[in-house]
Amino acid sequence: MKALFALLKEYWGILCRPSVYFSLGFLTLGGFIAGIIFWGGFNTALEMTNTEKFCVSCHEMRDNVFVELKDTIHYSNRSGVRASCPDCHVPHEWTHKIARKMQASKEVWGKIFGTIDTRDKFVNLRRELAEHEWARLKANDSRECRNCHNFEFMDFTRQSKRAAAMHSTSLASGQATCIDCHKGIAHKLPDMHGVKGW
Amino acid sequence: MPFRIVPLLLLAVVGLAIAADVDYPLDAPGPDGRRPGGTLTQSMPAPPLANDENNDLKRERNYPDQPPTIPHSIRGYQIDKNGNKCLSCHSRANSARSQATMISITHYMDRDGQALAAVSPRRYFCNQCHVPQKEVKPLVGNTFETIDKILQDDANAANKP
């Protein structure tokens, strides 16, 4: 502990002293350029992990959830607008995105230790995984849905009667959020025993 | 050696004679309604996919125990051992919240008429009996009349002098 303290003190001394060999211009410019490279590199790497291609590069995603997505309206529809994995599973705003990405380090752990590396393991864990996503969307008022589906611009007259009735009451008053009713719209559902409303 | 070919030649000649004599079209018209204007060997363009009827209006049943048709789209509804999307609105407990028609009491009975706590497994797969409708004309016409129509016709006939 004493040695560590001494080491820290030594480094603090170096940081406090003015530079002897390097010019101020080199240090500021070098720091600036290094900043660009590190920050740019970090962001590029982050965005690289934020693509569908990256998600389905693992067989866990490709063979289970991605094939299920392909049947749904969020993958193929008349207008060709589609949602990719991170559109729904990663927040778009930077702070929330970083928080989610840190959480997602658990997924790296899962990948390394093969938590869901077979179909059976995946099916067994599916309810738990689904509940994580339901809880996340419930807690943030379905923020990732609302990236595309904006309540302000919903035209109830263009919705079916049932949809308009639900959206203009429960959703409008904030009693319910998207995920309360729209579970399993992009992937198959796990065993739904005991889930409210099922 | 040449004599062995004679029966074969005879067969060929007779065959040709019969084939030339056919007086019905080999390329018959396709079944009614399915391929309007086409024949069995013709490839016709597939008819466009129609939209699901989605107006939430109950249709009349043609006979009392007809399973009612589904008056809305059921795209992506999951019905398997994990869950049943239909029941999330139409079950006994959920129909009050959703104001959807509750599935009939028969769905909560086993085949001996004994009441069950939950939907009977033999009634669980809704679209074995209940189906959505498309906005299309029927492919094949029919002359079915409901019993009400027949009774009415009878009454009308009796009233006439």
Q: Tell me, letter by letter, the H, E, C secondary structure of B24-67.
A: CCCCCECCCCCCCCCECCCCCCCCCCCCECCCCCCCCCCCCCCC
Nearest to A56 by CA among A73, A74, A70: A70
Q: Is B124 a member of any domain?
A: yes
Range in A3-17, A184-198, B43-57 the model is least confident about: B43-57
pLDDT for B9? 80
Cβ-in-10-Å burial (0-12, 13-18, 19+) of A8 comes to: exposed
* Mutation choice for B interface testing from A162, A170, A179, A180 by most B CBs within 10 A: A162
Report whether pLDDT(A12) > 80. Answer: yes
Shortest CA gap B66–chain A (Å): 24
Q: Do residues A154 and A167 lie in contact, with contact meaning Cβ atoms separated by under 8 Å?
A: yes
Residue of A nearest to B83 (CA): A192
**Number of C-alpha atoms within 13 angstroms, CB side, residue A75?**
14
Q: Do A188 and B54 touch (CB under 8 A)?
A: no
- In percent, the amount of chain A with pLDDT more than 90 equals 84
Shortest CA gap A155–chain B (Å): 17
Round to whole Å and give the CA distance between B89 and B93.
Answer: 8
Residue of A nearest to B56 (CA): A161
pLDDT for B25? 65
- In percent, the amount of chain A with pLDDT more than 70 equals 100
Round to whole Å and give the CA distance between B39 and B76.
Answer: 36
Report whether pLDDT(A109) > 90. Answer: yes
User: Which of B56, B72, B78 comes nearest A189 by C-beta?
Assistant: B78
- In percent, the amount of chain B with pLDDT more than 70 equals 91
pLDDT for B49? 86
Spell out the residues 6+ positions from residue A92 whose beta carbon is closer than 8 angstroms to its own.
Answer: A144, A147
Domains in chain B, number: 1
pLDDT for B32? 64
Q: Is B67 a member of any domain?
A: no
CATH code of residue B115: 1.10.1130.10
Q: Is B127 a member of any domain?
A: yes
Express each pLDDT in B107-126 by its tens digit: 999 999 999 999 999 999 99
Question: Can you state the angle between helices A105-113 and A94-103, rounded to 10 degrees?
Answer: 30
Q: Is B9 a member of any domain?
A: no
Q: Do residues B92 and B102 lie in contact, with contact meaning Cβ atoms separated by under 8 Å?
A: yes
The DSSP code sequence of chain B is -HHHHHHHHHHHHHHHHHHHT--S-SSPBPPTTTSTT-BTTPPPPPPPPPPBP-S--PPPPSSTTPPPPB-S--TT--EETTEETTHHHHSTTTHHHH-PPPPPGGGGB-TTS-B-SS--GGG--GGGT--B-BSS--SS------HHHHHHHHHHHHH--
Q: Which residues pair with B67 in a beta bridge?
A: none
Query: What average pLDDT score do residues A41-60 get?
Result: 94
What number is the ipTM of this complex?
Answer: 0.77
Question: Has B17 been labeled as part of a binding site?
Answer: no
Spell out the residues 6+ positions from residue A9 whose beta carbon is closer than 8 angstroms to its own.
Answer: none
Shortest CA gap B43–chain A (Å): 26
pLDDT for B35? 64
Q: Is B5 a member of any domain?
A: no
Question: Has B86 been labeled as part of a binding site?
Answer: yes
Residue A126 Cα distances to A129, A148, A183, A190, B78, angstroms: 5, 26, 13, 6, 16
User: Which of A160, A191, A197 comes nearest B82 by C-beta?
Assistant: A191
Question: Has B119 been labeled as part of a binding site?
Answer: no
User: Which of B55, B72, B76 comes nearest A185 by C-beta?
Assistant: B76
Report whether pLDDT(A136) > 90. Answer: yes
State the pTM of this model.
0.79
B102: alpha, beta or left? (left if phi > 0; alpha if psi -120 to 50): beta
Q: Is B35 a member of any domain?
A: no
Q: Do residues A86 and A50 lie in contact, with contact meaning Cβ atoms separated by under 8 Å?
A: yes
Domain that holds residue B97: 79-159
Round to whole Å and give the CA distance between B92 and B103.
Answer: 7
Range in A19-28, A29-38, A111-120, A124-133 the model is least confident about: A19-28
Round to whole Å and give the CA distance between B97 and A175.
Answer: 13
Range in A3-7, A183-187, B17-21 the model is least confident about: B17-21
Round to whole Å and give the CA distance between B19 and B2.
Answer: 26
Q: Is B23 a member of any domain?
A: no
pLDDT band of residue B36 (cuts 50, 70, 90) is low
Residue of A nearest to B93 (CA): A197
Nearest to B67 by CA among B97, B103, B43, B95: B103
| Interface residues on B facing A, Cβ-Cβ cutoff 8 A | 54-56, 72-73, 75-76, 78, 81-85, 87-88, 94, 97-100
Express each pLDDT in B139-155 by its tens digit: 778 899 999 999 999 99
Q: Is B111 a member of any domain?
A: yes
pLDDT for A68? 94
pLDDT for B17? 73
pLDDT for B1? 55
Question: Has B97 been labeled as part of a binding site?
Answer: no
Spell out the residues 6+ positions from residue A167 whose beta carbon is closer than 8 angstroms to its own.
Answer: A151, A154, A156, A159
Query: What average pLDDT score do residues A73-82 get?
Result: 93
Round to whole Å and give the CA distance between A105 and A98.
Answer: 11
Express each pLDDT in B42-83 by its tens digit: 777 777 888 899 888 999 999 988 999 999 999 889 999 999
Query: What average pLDDT score do residues B18-29 get?
Result: 71
What SS3 state is found at A176? coil
